[in-house]
Amino acid sequence: MKATPARRLFGTNGVRGIVNKELTPQLALQLSEAIGTFFGRTIGRSKILLGWDGRTSSPMLADLAASGLVSAGCTVYEAGLAPTPAIQYLTKAHSFNGAVMVTASHNPPEYNGIKVIDSDGIELPPEGELLIEKIYFKKEAVLRDWKGLGERLPVHDGLEAYRQAIREKVDESTISRSRPKIVIDPANGVGTLVTPYLCRELGCQVTTINSNIDGTFPGRLPEPTPANLETLSKIVRSSGADLGVAHDGDADRAIFVDGGGLVHWGDRSFALITEHYLKNHSGEEIVTPVSSSSVIEDVASKYGGKVVWTPVGSINVSRTMAKIGAKLGGEENGGIFYAPHIPVRDGAMATALILEIMASSREKLSTLMGRLPRYFNVKDRVPCPERLKSKVLKQLREEVKGIKVETIDGVKVWHEDRGWILVRPSGTEPIYRLFAEAMSTEKAQDLVSRYKKILSNIIRKSGRRS
């Protein structure tokens, strides 16, 4: 893979930071002027869709983004509060030239971010982000005179169109006949504007918790980890519901809870969706980052599918899918990418697919999950100075020569009994992240311990030599 020069503002998910500390009003405005200039350069007067999540800082930042874009001559169509995937869907479906989404996804309430979407609905590729950074740092934004300013226009019925698009991708009558009872926890985020309505339209009996939009996240933190989903889990169990669904703050992820209150991690729901999809589309390619569980490969090979591995990060899954024309992708964190709708992660689309699987199989989620092969994961980290990172990775590749490895992102090494370990340098901290999977926790822990030793040795030796 060709190396792209490092970006200074954009991270893996747009420009993120603590509001008024790292992400200041000045940065938001000038960045938006640069974004507007970027789109204007290639397109002339561009049509940009703007959406934002429910954070306390989102209206302030969205206003600044709108002003920056308008000053650079863009016509800004304001969709308002909306899930990120709704903005991505509408960008493509309604032929906008691009979009700006103000969101910090699953981060704590003090954060916010600005994400730039390309005309195909997928996050802008790194080359585009670099061009925007260049305009920003070199102060090359082109601000129009009074005759050339853009306008701010409202968008009507965007979320209805988005819900309708999801409904068309699933078997509504089968879901509706089974009348599933579902509890939805959107974490006081923008998922509340879509998923409860969508599920009612699909014939579900819907209960919601944490469903008023509140940027202080009073119900739970916006990351849908099992520790944050205890209330959802209790309510699903005590109310006799068939399914619980939890979103992150901008509802591009969905994590599912079975009727017994058990939280199932995202690679398992992705495996169920893979199975369901490949049953009808045998031999197709399934796209997922190297960090995903072997359960995906197990299911794919059972139904004649092929797994295509990507570097970690949702944009890599989306861009790979678009490039090879794959229809399904997924991430272990609860991101499902369904290209017949849009190849970006989408929490509402994932929910509709899980409802379709339960209704068409007439099985409980716990039964469906119980049939999947079971793996166990252990995570750890090893400190490593930034200057040694690439040298250490090279050395590690040497050490594992002869063993089956995947080097698309860090080093993933396969071991006996379907065990594997992924060693990746962190992009933001002076550490290496270790992530192991095996048939038992002990075996996964053993892999982590072995590689911690190997890495520490390499780091010590490289430090001495440099």
* Binding residues vs Mg ion (CB under 5 A): 105, 248, 250, 252
Question: Which residues are catalytic, by number?
Answer: 105
- Taking the complex as a whole, how short is the minimal distance between the CB of residue 22 and Mg ion, in angstroms? 19
Residue at token pair 């009996």: 205
Which residue lies nearer to Mg ion by CB, 252 or 409? 252
Other beta carbons within 10 angstroms of residue 266's beta carbon come to 23
Cα–Cα distance list, 327 to 192, 274, 339 (Å):
27, 10, 5
Count the Cβ atoms, other than its own, within 10 Å of residue 355.
27
Q: Of 46 and 91, which CB lies nearer to Mg ion in the complex structure? A: 91
Burial (CB count <10 Å: 0-12, 13-18, 19+), residue 344 = buried
Strand ranges (DSSP E) for 331-391?
A: 336-338, 342-345, 376-383
Would the CA dihedral through 35, 40, 42, 43 be positive or negative? positive
Q: Rounded to whole angstroms, how far apart are CA atoms 68 and 116?
A: 14
Contacts of 213 (CB under 8 A, 6+ apart): 54, 81, 188, 189, 190, 192, 193
Q: How far is the CB of 67 from Mg ion (least distance, A)?
A: 25
Our CB check for Mg ion shows the closer of 68 and 186 to be 186
Please say whether the beta carbons of 364 and 259 come within 8 A.
Answer: yes
User: Pseudo-torsion of CA 450, 461, 426, 127, nearest 10°?
Assistant: -130
Task: Tell me the DSSP string of 35-59.
Answer: HHHHHHHHHSS-EEEEEE-S-TTHH
Nearest to 353 by CA among 367, 371, 344, 341: 341
The least CB distance from residue 252 to Mg ion, in Å, is 4
State the DSSP code for 124.
Answer: P
Residues 198/167, Cβ–Cβ less than 8 Å: yes
How far is Cα 82 from Cα 76, in angstroms, rounded to an integer? 15
The DSSP line for 129-143 is HHHHHHHHHTT----
Which among 89, 101, 98, 94 is positioned nearest to 118, based on CA atoms?
Answer: 98
- Whole-number minimum distance, CB 133 to Mg ion, in Å? 23
